Chains A and B, each alone.
Chain A
Amino acid sequence: MLEHYLFLSAALFTLGVVGVMIRRNLIVVLMCLEMMLNAVNLSFIAFARQLGSVEGQIIVLFTMVVAACEVAVGLAIAVAVFRTRGTINVNDVNLLKW
């Protein structure tokens, strides 16, 4: 059973990575990040179930809190970027460079 969960988790994670790499919309990038986090959460739960341990579940709760914070900050940045630059295309937000 564990393999199925892990394969699903790996697939979700890879999808998230690819999304972060190739999508330009900041909102979508944030959503892909969330997907990566949840892929990890899924494997934690799977291991917790397999090993009969509660620790995996506790870490997942922590991860969800951190993810909520991250989304709040990320969306706030997205709003701020949109207000100042009129776009949320990450390729256009490239002032901080050499």
Chain B
Amino acid sequence: MTDLVWLIPLFPLIGFFINGLFGRSFPEKLIGWIGAGAIGASFVVAALIFVELIGLEPGSRSVQKVVYTWMLSGDLNVPIGFLVDPLSMVMLLVVSGVGCIIHIYSIGYMHGELGFRRYFCYLNLFVFAMLILVSANNFLLMFVGWEGVGLCSYLLIGYYYEKKSASDAGKKAFVVNRVGDFGFLLGMFLIFVTFGTLTFTDVFAAAPQKLTQGGELVTLITLLLFVGATGKSAQIPLYTWLPDAMEGPTPVSALIHAATMVTAGVYMVARLSLLFAMAPISMTVVAVIGGATAFYAATIGITQYDIKRVLAYSTISQLGYMFMACGVGAFASGIFHLMTHAFFKALLFMGAGSVMHALSGELDMRRMGGLRKELPRTYWTYLAGTIAIAGIFPFAGFFSKDEILFYAFERHAAFWIIGAVAALMTSFYMFRSVYMTFWGAPRLTPEAAHHLHESPPIMTAPLMVLAVLSLVGGFVGIPIFEGLNKFGDFLAPVFAPAQAILKGGHADAHHSWVPEAILMVTSLAIAIVGLLLARWMYLKKPDVPDRVIDEFKGLHTLVYNKYWIDELYDFLFVNSIVNFSRFLWKRFDELVIDGIVNGVASITLAWGRGLRLVQTGLVKDYALSILFGIVAVIGYLVLR
């Protein structure tokens, strides 16, 4: 079955071509189900391969399947090859599984949209690229997927291209991602120069000989690759595109900008765990950037009123958690959080989409409220997602976030404090969104209130599936009890080489369960404090938030405007580039290039103007000129 791994990315590609080439006359339902069915087929294949992989010995759960030699030139040998191991398996299952659910939801959400077929084509193409990214066995094929998801992200953010803000957001996402991709490319080149190969397994096998532990080369490689990860996964300093990406349709935000694409950076760091483990400086950088992003984005999330923006900053913050986990060496925990986050963040986004659907596109939480009676299914599922992300037992986020916090604490207490404060804020702003949206007095606009309706079953059923996953998804990785952390044990072989380096050859010192239990209780308490604080501020005393804002007016303005980072970037980078481009346009292009082209044309014109006077229309003049010509030629021949 593992030989058929190439089928997994193939199905979405087929779906893309069927809908793209022949879908013009298809009815909406057919297009939607072709799109969803293609992803579903991928999921089935992935699940079958997973079952087979489980049956293998833990040590031999890494299979490569080369389908085709793509490039063969000198040392460069790039196959179209796939690597099936626990890490890529988890990613394949998450991408195809969550992707399929979101496709089904989209059939309901996008109903009646003008570009329905275009939407499903792009979405299938995206899943194809994402599956290539996570299953590739070499850097270049991974980069193909990496760029492919970037392209689809651009196309889908700008889906409502008639809207200026949407097309601008698409461009911004693309350009910011290019900055990161540049780092990825440089890192990849450096790897090829060093190792002479781009295949993961060959690189990992040669790494101990070609690189020195903590050497400059490996540090440079990993830092450059991490630049790529910060672009794709929206970390400081390249995170600014993600909040704007919310201009796309909501299922796109759920699939691309929450569940799958933005986690590509985390996947890449985890995939290259061996290289990162060899570069302690890079590990520290990853952990610090991750922790800082987790904290920073959470502060912005508290102040936003746009429900999708709250979720966007929450995503950035949670991605920061995952990077912090990778940076402290807990790669498996990072991937665990990646998976649970995919469940509950997709759920939250689609819940927000369901609310928007019910309120005719309203996004501002100040014009919501009291919706839990009208939208019971949306409410309960959204609540499940909120509890999961806040990290309240027994929902999925509790297990994954707690694991990260535990490893952060083991590394350094400062990481734990940052993580814990961010967890408090996460719990606060998520319950804030619940209370502002579903509780309290309705503050709807009259038109929205008039059309208020619960979403159709095709939208609520995916929500329920994800709500169940958010509830039970954490139980695959129960901490403390030996042998119950199935998820961590499953991934362990992938990260074993990296862990061996990080542990410094010492045997895995078995830690006592007491501090872990204390930390668990603490983080649970933190989450509940956030819940109660939000309940008190937004339900019991609705005037408190305004008073707090008045009290800290300067701070609130600063945070509400996202620390003016967008403006700062505009000032520092965008404007200078725009001005330089304008200079090239006005001065160089219009004056120099156009000057040369137009100059040639006008010189030709002037000559033509002068020479046409020779055309007198009199035959004898022509005869005379022929005569002169002959005399000249003969004279030359004679006198030569």
A interface residues (Cβ-Cβ under 8 A, vs B)? 17, 20-22, 29, 90-91, 93-98
**Distance in Å from the Cβ of A74 to the closest Cβ of chain B?**
12
Separation of A21 and B624 alpha carbons in the complex (Å): 7
Question: Which residue of chain B is the closest to A96 with respect to CB atoms?
Answer: B617
The reply to whether the CB of B597 lies closer than 8 angstroms to some CB of chain A is: no
Q: Which residues of A contact B73 (CB under 8 A)?
A: none
The reply to whether the CB of B627 lies closer than 8 angstroms to some CB of chain A is: yes
Question: Which residue of chain A is the closest to B630 with respect to CB atoms?
Answer: A17
Separation of A20 and B617 alpha carbons in the complex (Å): 15
B589-631 vs A, CB cutoff 8 Å, 1 = contact: the mask equals 0000000000000000000000011011111100110010000
**Distance in Å from the Cβ of A32 to the closest Cβ of chain B?**
10
Separation of A96 and B623 alpha carbons in the complex (Å): 15
**Contact between A90 and B624 (Cβ–Cβ < 8 Å)?**
no
**Contact between A97 and B619 (Cβ–Cβ < 8 Å)?**
no
**Given A21-B624, A21-B627, A90 and B617 contact (CB-CB distance below 8 Å):** no
Separation of A58 and B484 alpha carbons in the complex (Å): 110
**Contact between B623 and A20 (Cβ–Cβ < 8 Å)?**
yes
Q: Which residues of A contact B627 (CB under 8 A)?
A: 17, 21
**Contact between B620 and A20 (Cβ–Cβ < 8 Å)?**
yes
**Distance in Å from the Cβ of A16 to the closest Cβ of chain B?**
11
**Distance in Å from the Cβ of B609 to the closest Cβ of chain A?**
9
**Contact between B615 and A98 (Cβ–Cβ < 8 Å)?**
yes
Top-8 shortest CB links A-B? A97-B617, A94-B617, A98-B612, A90-B619, A98-B615, A97-B615, A20-B623, A94-B618
Separation of A17 and B624 alpha carbons in the complex (Å): 9
**Distance in Å from the Cβ of B623 to the closest Cβ of chain A?**
5
**Contact between B620 and A95 (Cβ–Cβ < 8 Å)?**
no
Q: Which residues of B contact A98 (CB under 8 A)?
A: 612-613, 615-617
**Contact between A21 and B618 (Cβ–Cβ < 8 Å)?**
no
**Distance in Å from the Cβ of A86 to the closest Cβ of chain B?**
18
**Distance in Å from the Cβ of B255 to the closest Cβ of chain A?**
69
**Contact between A21 and B617 (Cβ–Cβ < 8 Å)?**
no
**Distance in Å from the Cβ of A98 to the closest Cβ of chain B?**
4
Separation of A17 and B626 alpha carbons in the complex (Å): 11
Interface size class of B (residues with CB under 8 A): 10 to 19
Q: Which residues of B contact A94 (CB under 8 A)?
A: 616-618
**Distance in Å from the Cβ of B555 to the closest Cβ of chain A?**
80
**Distance in Å from the Cβ of B630 to the closest Cβ of chain A?**
10
Q: Which residues of A contact B613 (CB under 8 A)?
A: 98
Q: Which residues of A contact B612 (CB under 8 A)?
A: 98
**Given A17-B627, A98-B612, A22 and B620 contact (CB-CB distance below 8 Å):** yes
Q: Which residues of B contact A17 (CB under 8 A)?
A: 627
Question: Which residue of chain A is the closest to B618 with respect to CB atoms?
Answer: A94
Q: Which residues of B contact A95 (CB under 8 A)?
A: 617
**Contact between B615 and A21 (Cβ–Cβ < 8 Å)?**
no
Question: Which residue of chain A is the closest to B612 with respect to CB atoms?
Answer: A98
**Distance in Å from the Cβ of B39 to the closest Cβ of chain A?**
71
Told that A98-B615, A98-B616, A98-B617 touch, could you supply 11 new A-B pairs with CB distance under 8 A? Answer: A21-B620, A21-B623, A22-B620, A91-B618, A91-B620, A93-B619, A94-B616, A94-B617, A97-B615, A97-B616, A98-B613
Question: Which residue of chain B is the closest to A33 with respect to CB atoms?
Answer: B623
Question: Which residue of chain A is the closest to B616 with respect to CB atoms?
Answer: A97
Q: Which residues of B contact A22 (CB under 8 A)?
A: 620
Separation of A17 and B627 alpha carbons in the complex (Å): 8
**Distance in Å from the Cβ of A34 to the closest Cβ of chain B?**
15
**Distance in Å from the Cβ of B204 to the closest Cβ of chain A?**
79
Separation of A13 and B624 alpha carbons in the complex (Å): 15
Q: Which residues of B contact A96 (CB under 8 A)?
A: 615, 617
Q: Which residues of A contact B616 (CB under 8 A)?
A: 94, 97-98
Separation of A94 and B623 alpha carbons in the complex (Å): 14
**Distance in Å from the Cβ of A11 to the closest Cβ of chain B?**
17
From B613, B616, B618, B624, name the one whose CB has the most chain A CB atoms within 10 angstroms.
Answer: B618
**Distance in Å from the Cβ of A75 to the closest Cβ of chain B?**
16
Separation of A20 and B624 alpha carbons in the complex (Å): 9
**Distance in Å from the Cβ of A73 to the closest Cβ of chain B?**
15
**Contact between A90 and B618 (Cβ–Cβ < 8 Å)?**
yes
Q: Which residues of A contact B615 (CB under 8 A)?
A: 96-98
Q: Which residues of B contact A97 (CB under 8 A)?
A: 615-618
| 18 A-B pairs whose Cβ atoms sit less than 8 Å apart in the complex | A17-B627, A20-B623, A21-B624, A22-B620, A90-B618, A90-B619, A91-B618, A91-B620, A94-B617, A94-B618, A95-B617, A96-B617, A97-B615, A97-B617, A97-B618, A98-B612, A98-B615, A98-B617
**Distance in Å from the Cβ of B574 to the closest Cβ of chain A?**
55
Q: Which residues of A contact B623 (CB under 8 A)?
A: 20-21
Question: Which residue of chain A is the closest to B611 with respect to CB atoms?
Answer: A98
Separation of A64 and B616 alpha carbons in the complex (Å): 32
B452-475 vs A, CB cutoff 8 Å, 1 = contact: the mask equals 000000000000000000000000
Separation of A18 and B627 alpha carbons in the complex (Å): 10
Q: Which residues of A contact B624 (CB under 8 A)?
A: 21
